[in-house]
Structure 1
Amino acid sequence: MKFNVSRLRISTAMTVVSVIMIAASISAIGLVVYSIISDKVREQATDGQNASLRVAATILERTVDGVNVSWGKDGNVEKIVVDQFPDFEEHSMIDTVGRMTGETATVFQWDPESRDFWRKTTNIVKPDGKRAVGTPLGQKGAVYPVLTGGKTFRGEAVILGLPYYTIYQPIFSKAGEVTGILYAGVKKDEINAIIGEILGKLAFAFVIVLAVSGTLSVFISRILLKPLPVLSAITQKIANDDFEADLPYTERSDEIGELAKSVRTFQQRGLERVAIAAEQASDRAASEQRQKRTEQLIDGFRNTVQGMIDSVEETAHGMEETARALTDIARESAGQASETAAASEEATGNVETVASAAEELSSSISEISRQVGQTTEIVGRATIGAQSTNEKISSLANAANKIGEVIGLIQDIAEQTNLLALNATIEAARAGEMGKGFAVVASEVKELATQTSKATEEIGAQIAAIQSSTTEAVEAIGEITRTMDEVNGYTSAIASAVQEQGAATVDISRNVQQAAQGTVAVTGNMATLSQAVAQTNASAEDVLNASTAVTGKTDQLRQEINHFLQEVSAA
C-alpha cells in the first residue's frame, strides 16, 4: 500500500517527517563518520605496520650480523641491505617483533630456482597450528611484481587464504639485487572488528540520539501545534454553521495568530451570512404573504367578475331567446296580417258584387241571398282572424314588456360592470407598473359596459317603438272588429230585406256603399298593422343582434380578464 503523509494529522506528520529527517541526517553523519573512522583505522593500521616494520628492521639489524638498515627523514625504513642472508634456525627474533608490535611479521628469502620468495621465519600460524615457514609468497598476487621491481608494497594481500593489511619491504644484497622481504601486517578481520565495534557504539549512540530527537520532536510539535486541533474544531463548527464558539490565539503574532485571525474572519462572515439569510428569509416570507394576498384578491376578483359575466351572459342568452321568440311572433303576425288583408280585399270584392247584384235585385233575389250568405261567412272569418291577431299582438306586447325588463336588468349589470371597471382602474393605478395590463383590461371592460349600456338604451327605444306599434295594432284590430260587426249587421239587414222582399234598391245601394267603405277601412288598417309588425320584426332583429354582440363581448371580456389575472399571478 502506498503511504500518504497527507492522511496523517499535522503533528503526527511533522513528527514522522522530523524523525525521518533526523534518521537521514544521522545516517548521513554515520556514513561520513564510518568513512572517516575506516580511513583513520586503516591509516592507523598503516602507521602501525610502519612502526612494526621499524621494530622488525631494528631487531633484525641488532640480532643478525651483516644487516644494514637505512632510515628516511620521516623515521621509516628506507632500505635494508644484507651482506649474507642468515639461516634462521630458530624464531625468537620474529616472535620478539610480534610481542612488541602485536602484529604478524615474516622474513622472506629469494629462491632463484623457483623464482619466488619463501618464508624463512614468521609468526603466522597455519590452520594446523604450525608456523607457515617454507611457504612461498606466490607469483600471482599483487605483491610479487612490486617486490621484484625493488619497491615497497603497502595494501591488502591474501595470506594463506586470509586478507591482511600489509607492508612488504624488499631486502637488497650488496649487489643491489632483491634477495629477500621483511613483512609486517595485521589481519583485515581484526581491523574490521575494530571498525565494527566503533560503528556499533556509534550506532547505539545514533539510536539514542534518534530516540531523544524523536521524543523532543513529538514534544515540541505538540507544543507548537497545540492550537491547531482547537482551531480545527472551531473551523468544523463554522462549517456546521455554528459561529458562536470563542476563538483563542488571535493575540499571537506568529502563523498561529494569523490563522486564528483568518478563522475569526470566516466566523464573522458566517455571522453576516446568517444575518443576511435571516433577512432574506424574512423578505421571502413577506413576499410570499404579499403573493398570497395578491392571489386571494385575484381569486376574489375573478369570482366576482366571473359571476357578473355569467349573469350578463345568461341575461344576454335570455334576451337572445326572447328576441328570437319576438321575431317568430312578428313573423307570425305578419302572416296573419297578410291573411286578414286578403280577406278584406275579398270582402271588398264581394261588396262590389253585392252592389252589382243590387242593381239586378229585381231580377234575382236568390242570387242576392247567396251573395249575402257568402259575405256573412267571409266577414265571420275576418272577425275570427282579427280576434286572433289581437291576441297575438297582445302576446307581442307582453313579450315586449318582458324584453324591457331584461333590458333594464342588462342596464343595471352594465352600470355595475362599469363601476367594477372603475374600481379595477383605481386598484391598477395603486399597483403601479404591475397594474398597467390590468388597467388596460379594466378600460376595455368599461368600454364594453358603455357599449352594452348604449345597446340596451337603443334596444329599449326599439322596444318602446314595438310597444307603441302593438298598441296601435291593437286599436286597429279593434276597429276592424267593430267594422266586421257593422258588416255583419249590414248583411243581416240585407238578409231581412231579402226575406221581406220589400227593401228598396236605394237602401240596398247605400248599405252596399257603406260596406265598401268599411272594407276599404279594414284594408287600410291591415296595411298599418303589417307596417307595425314589420317594425316589430326589425326591432326583434336588433335585439337579437345586440344580444349576440353582448355574448361575444362577454367572452372577450372573460378572456382579457383571465389573461390579465394570469399575468398578475406570473408577476
Structure 2
Amino acid sequence: MKSKEKKQIKNPKQSKTIAGKLLGTIIPIMVICIIVVAALMFLRARSVILKNAKEQLSQETRANAADIALILENRRSYYSGISDVLENIDFDGGKGIYNDFQFTTSKFDDMYPGFYGYFDEIGYLDLTGFKPDAGFDPSSRPWYTGAQGKSELTWGTPYVDATSGGLSTFFSKEITLKSGQHGVISSDLYLKNISETVSQYRPSGTGFAILVDDSLTVVASEDTSYNGTSLGDHPSDTLYTSIFKQLSAGNKDIAVMRANDGLNYYVAYSTIPTTNWTMISYVKENDILKELNSLLFITIAIVIIMLIISTLFIMALISGMISKPITELTGSIGSITDNDFSIQINDKGNDEIGTMNRGMKKFVDSMRDSLVKLRDETEKLANSAEESKGSAENMNEQTTSQSESIGQIRDTMDGIATAVTELATSATELATMVSELTNEGQTTGNTMHILVGKADKSQKDMLAVTNSMDGISSSMQEMNNVVTTVEESAKRIESIVAMINSIADQTNLLSLNASIEAARAGEAGKGFAVVASEIGSLANESASASEEIGTIISEVMDHISSLADKSTANMEEIGQSSQIVDEAQITFGELIGNLESASNSMSKMVAMIKKVDEVATNLAAISEEQSASTEEVMATMEVIASSAEEVSNSSNQVADNATKVSDASDTISNFVSSFKLE
C-alpha cells in the first residue's frame, strides 16, 4: 500500500511540469510582443529617418543654391552698380567710358574683361577694344534681344563660347546714359568655375548635383558632357528624363525616381535666388536608407538579445518562484509519506506556495513535536516501569533484611544509651575546663595590652631622639658653612697680602731708582735722597709685615682646614646615627604592630573559648536529652518491624504491575520508531 502511494506521488513528475507549461505560454506571447514593439519602433524610426533624410537633402540643395546665387549675385550686383554710374554720370561719350572703366577688365577672372554694349550715336562699345565688322547687327544677338524691356540685369541662356569653347552665359539690361543715348549693357560669365563647383557637391555625402537654367538647359553637372544640353535631350538616361518631365510640369517637390542602374534615387529641387535657375540634387535611396539598414540590423540584434535575456530571466524567475518551491514542497510531501518528519520546510514567501509551505511546516513541526514527546514519554514510561520493577524487587529484599537489621539496631541502641550517659559526664568536665581556660586567656590579654602601651611610649621616645639628631645635624651643617666662609675669607686675605708684597717690591725698586737719580743730582738731590731712603725703609718694613701676616694666615688656614675636616667627619657620624635611630624607630613600629596583632589574636581566642564553653554546656544538656530519646527510639523500632512485613507484601504486587507497564511501553516505542524525527 505504501509503495503504491509513492508511485502516485512520483507519477506527476514524469508529466509536463507547471514551469514548462508556463514557459510554453509566456515565451511565445513575449516573443510576439517584443517583435511587434520592435517592428512599430522600426517603422516609426524609418519614417523619421526618411523625413530627416529628405529634409537634409532639401537643406543641402538650398544651401548649394544659395552658394551659387552668392557667386552670381556678386557679379550681377557689381555690374548693376556700373550701370547706375553710367546712368547718372556723363563720361563724355564712348571714349570717356572706355578709358574710365578699364579697371573693371581685371575685376573677375571668371568673367569677360569689363563689359560691352551698344548705344545710340556711340555704336558698339567693348572695353577689350574689340571692333566688330562693318555689317555687325547687335539686334540679332541674344544679349541684345534678352535685354529688351529689362530694367535690371537679367541672366540669359547659357551657350558655348566660340573663343574658349567653354560654357558661358551673360546678363544684360536696357540703359539710358546720362548724356541721353539709349542702349544695352552686357557682360559674360564663364561657367567653368561654377561647373566645377557644382560637380563637387555631394549632397547627403554620396549624391550629385545638377544646375539648369529656366529653359532646363544643363549649366553644370557631374557628367560634363551634359553641360550646355537640355535635360530632355537624353532619352536614354531615365533619371534625366524623369527630372525633365517633373520640372516641365512645374513640380519641384522631392520625388523618388529610378535610374538606368535600376536603383531608386531621391531628387530635390531649389530655385537659385534672383534667377530662374534651378539646383537639382539626387542621391541613391540605398545611401539614404543605409542608416536605416544599420538600424534594422541593430534592432534585430537587440530583439534577439532581449529575447534571450527575457527568456533566461523568466526561466530563472519561474524556477525561483514556482519550480523550485513546488519541487521542494513535493519532496517534503514525499518524505512525509515515508514517515520522515525530520525535514525542514522553507516557509518564506507571501504567495500561495508560501502559504502552503507555512501550513505544511506547521503540520510537520506539530507532528514532529508530538511524536518526539510521545517517544520521550514512552522512554520515560519504560524507564519508570523498569525502575518500579527493580525498586519493588529491591524493596522486597530490603524489607527482609530490614527485619533482620531491626534486631541488630535494638542491640546497638542499648550500647548508644550507655555511650550517651558517658558523653554527658565528659561534657560536664569539658565545660569546667573551658571556663578555667577563659579566665587564663583574659589575664594574658590584659598583659598584652600593657605591653603594647609600653612599646608605644618607647616609639615616641625614639621619635624625640630622631628630632634631636636632626637639630644637631642642622647646627653642624651651619657651622660647616661658617668654616667654609672663613676659609674663603682667609684665601682672599692671602691674595691681598701677596698684592701688598708686590707693592712693597715696586716701592723699594722706585726708592732705589730715586736714590740713583738723587746721587746724579748732587747737592741738589740730597733731600730727595733722604726721602727715597725713608720710602725704601718703609717698603722693607711693609714687606716684612706682609710676610708675617702671610705666615699667620697660613697657620689660620691650617686650623680652619682641620676644623672643616672634623666638622665633615662629625656630619657623617651624625648622619649614620640618625640612620640607626630611624631604623630603630621602624623596628619599634613593627614590634608595636606585632604586639597589637598578638593582642587582637588573644582577644579572638578568648571569644572562641567562650563559644566552646557555651557548646560544652549545650552538649551536656543535649546528651541528657539524647538519653531520653534513645528510649523512645527503642519503642519505635518495634513498630517498624511490623510495618516492614506489610511493605514486603506490597512490593511483590508493584513488581507485577511494573512488568505489564514495561510491555506496553515497548509496543508504543516500536510504533514511534517507524517515524524519522531527526
TM-score (norm: length of structure 1): 0.34
TM-score (norm: length of structure 2): 0.29
